[in-house]
Amino acid sequence: MNSYNVDCIKMTQNELRKKLKEKTVGIAGCGGLGSNAAIALSRSGVGSFVIVDFDRVEESNLNRQYYFREQIGKKKVEALSINIFKIDRSINIEAHAIKMKPHDVKTLFGKCDIILEAFDVADAKMMLVESVMEQLPQIPIIVGNGMAGIGGFELLKIIKWAENVYVCGDGISEVSENLHPLAPRVAIVANMQANLALELLLK
């Protein structure tokens, strides 16, 4: 995918932030991808978020997720909300500490302008993508897939997988005992998702 939204270049900073203030982004999963993408979008001016994750912050998360040692043990949606509010207190956050099922997708994300998929487990990723394609075909979803390891940044790319489905990552590197997700590659893919979200929101 080689598109670039020239229209956003022509906007002033105030015009850009005013437009983004009216947008709502759904984030499914608040781990390495979701937490970093949420922070990037918060700094960029997105006005509202719907964030979903059932998990709690663990010490092992701190090598790649946007949390801090004092937040260990907190629900991720609560900790991420706190971190977003430290950037902009006026942002609206709807936080759900649940393990999402297919029947939850439309209720949770039906009012969003765009959805970012940020789950760790392949089955959960597929469940969300299939549910969005079936229940919310008018809403773009941006998937993160393939970011483990070190280096190989030139392999990271964005592809349009279906009419409303985009995939960021290398599509190859799966997490394993010898291939771990580390901050640089995870954050790059998270910011690829955030950057594409801004491009689509500002069209």
- In degrees, to the nearest 5, what angle opens at C-alpha 191 toward C-alphas 187 and 194? 145
Residue 99 above 70 pLDDT? yes
Using CA atoms, how far apart are residues 175 and 146, in angstroms rounded to an integer? 8
The predicted pLDDT at position 53 comes to 98
Q: How far is CA 203 from CA 37, 42, 46, 166, 180, in A?
A: 19, 19, 14, 16, 36
Residue 175's identity, in one-letter code, is V
How many percent of the chain have pLDDT more than 70? 92
Q: How many CA atoms lie within 13 A of 16 on its CB side?
A: 16
The predicted pLDDT at position 6 comes to 60
pLDDT tier, 148 (very low <50, low <70, confident <90, very high otherwise) = confident
Contact by Cβ (8 Å): 145, 139? no
For residue 11, the enclosing domain spans 6-201
Evaluate whether residue 1 is within a structural domain. no
What angle in degrees, to the nearest 10, is found between the helix axes of 32-44 and 76-87?
20
Mean pLDDT, residues 108-123 taken together: 95
Q: What are the start-end ranges of the E strands in the chain?
A: 24-28, 48-52, 92-96, 114-117, 141-144, 157-162, 165-169
**Domain total of the chain:** 1
Evaluate whether residue 89 is within a structural domain. yes
* pTM of this prediction exceeds 0.95: no
Residue 21 above 70 pLDDT? yes
The CATH number covering residue 92 comes to 3.40.50.720
Mean pLDDT of the chain: 92
Residue 79's identity, in one-letter code, is A
Evaluate whether residue 143 is within a structural domain. yes
In 3-state terms, what secondary structure has residue 10? coil
